[in-house]
Amino acid sequence: MIHPTDSVTPVAEYGRMTTRGWVTKRRAWGALALLATATAGLGVVAPTGAAAQTPPTSYVALGDSFTSGPLIPNQSLEPLGCLRSDRNYPHLIAPNTGTQAFRDVSCAGADTNDLYSEHGVWPGPNPPQLNALDANTRVVTVGMGGNDIGFSGIIESCASALPFGSPCRNRYVVNGVDELTNRINATAPKIAAAVAAIRARSPQARILVVGYPAIVPDSGSGCWPSVPMAWNDVPYLRAKHKELNAMLAGQAAAQGAVYVDTYTPSIGRDACASGGTRWVEPLIPGNAAAPFHPNARGMQGMATAVRARL
């Protein structure tokens, strides 16, 4: 079921106030204080207390489809093209962050460029994700990198009509040069720059870089055709998945952020597991979720991993 939901919780409406708005508000309090002094005999009392003047703290979720939760009910209409669920891990952990406001600006298909620029999804663009940050942000989760290395294209090009051979590895490893390894290495400075950009906008925030849960099993040759990867390609794809997560962990550590390992708790809950166990759906989903993406159970598992690092 799809219904309009706002990715900003009601309390976060206060978080939309600009810095200029707060300056105006402080001037207003100053004027009221003068009025109170002038009319003390009439019993007029000016509002007091720092809480009335301090903008609320916030938690901001940045990320791609492994954060937004495509096709998991209920889907937000703002914008619909981001395929953002109100049961994704950011929504699940928001009450545990100790903040007063929550903004989820994750979007399906996003890569690190969409942190800085509008993401052209239907029916209207998703604003630059970094725009959701401010000096009062105290917690930031960011789940990106998969689309920078071409996640969707890899899934499509590595799907095989037969389980024999290693067509995926043969496509990406030529003359000893591994194109996917090169893509992962090229994405590393983009992740480092993303963490630095977050910290520049929200210097007091705790920044958590969230990794990717398992899609293929942690051992063995997979489950063709449910996950239509040739048997000999599964170990290669598993290794690239781990390589991507290792890069994210390394960049998080280098930039003073926290890495959240969602792979380890997802072992045995990959897309080849039973419908009541798996965190990630196969080619033909049995639970409400997009193919090769986390389902609601997977989002709950990822939320548990993030909470442990909070």
pLDDT above 80 for 148:
yes
pLDDT digits (tens, 9 = 90+) for 159-199: 999 999 999 999 999 999 999 999 999 999 999 999 999 99
pLDDT above 90 for 27:
no
Q: What percent of the chain has pLDDT over 90?
A: 82
**What is the pLDDT confidence band of residue 52, given thresholds at 50, 70 and 90?**
low
Count of domains observed in the chain: 1
Q: Which domain covers residue 227, as residue numbers?
A: 56-309
In the three-class reduction of DSSP (H, G, I as helix; E, B as strand; rest coil), residue 126 is classed as strand
Q: Specify the pLDDT at position 46.
A: 38
In the three-class reduction of DSSP (H, G, I as helix; E, B as strand; rest coil), residue 149 is classed as coil
Mean pLDDT confidence for 228-254: 98
pLDDT above 60 for 297:
yes
Mean pLDDT confidence for 111-138: 97
How remote is the C-alpha of 204 from its chain's centroid? 19
30-44, 173-187, 240-254: segment of lowest average pLDDT: 30-44
Q: Specify the pLDDT at position 111.
A: 98
DSSP 187-219: HHHHHHHHHHHHHHH-TT-EEEEE----SS-SS
Mean pLDDT confidence for 214-241: 98
Mean pLDDT confidence for 264-281: 98
41 in a structural domain: no
Share the mean pLDDT of the chain: 87
Greater model confidence, 44 or 132: 132
- The CATH code of the domain that includes 194 is 3.40.50.1110
Contact of 99 with 139, CB cutoff 8 Å: yes
60 in a structural domain: yes
pLDDT above 50 for 126:
yes
Mean pLDDT confidence for 154-158: 97
Q: Specify the pLDDT at position 44.
A: 35
How remote is the C-alpha of 207 from its chain's centroid? 12
208 in a structural domain: yes
pLDDT above 60 for 210:
yes
**What is the pLDDT confidence band of residue 54, given thresholds at 50, 70 and 90?**
confident
Between helices 234-254 and 179-201, what is the axis angle to 10°?
A: 30
pLDDT above 80 for 35:
no
pLDDT above 90 for 8:
no
177 in a structural domain: yes
Q: Specify the pLDDT at position 43.
A: 35
> What does the CA dihedral 35, 24, 10, 310 come to, rounded to 10 degrees?
-110
pLDDT above 80 for 2:
no
pLDDT above 70 for 37:
no
pLDDT above 90 for 144:
yes
21 in a structural domain: no
48-62, 105-119, 121-135: segment of lowest average pLDDT: 48-62
**What is the pLDDT confidence band of residue 124, given thresholds at 50, 70 and 90?**
confident
**What is the pLDDT confidence band of residue 18, given thresholds at 50, 70 and 90?**
very low
40 in a structural domain: no
Q: How far apart are CA 255 and CA 197, in angstroms?
A: 11
